[in-house]
Amino acid sequence: MFDIGFWELTIIGVVALLVIGPERLPRVARTTGLWLGRARRFVSSVKADIDREIAADELKKALAKQAEATGLYEIVEDTKQTIQNTQDVTSEQPEAENKTVMQKTNDASG
CB 17 within 8 A of CB 25: yes
Neighbours of 105 (CB within 10 A): 10
Cβ neighbors of 17 (< 8 A, separation 6 or more) are 25
**Residue 2 DSSP class:** -
Its pTM surpasses 0.75: no
Mean pLDDT within 94-100: 63
Q: How far apart are the first and last CA of the chain?
A: 104
- Give pLDDT tens digits for 10-62: 998 899 889 988 899 889 989 999 999 999 999 999 999 999 999 999 999 98
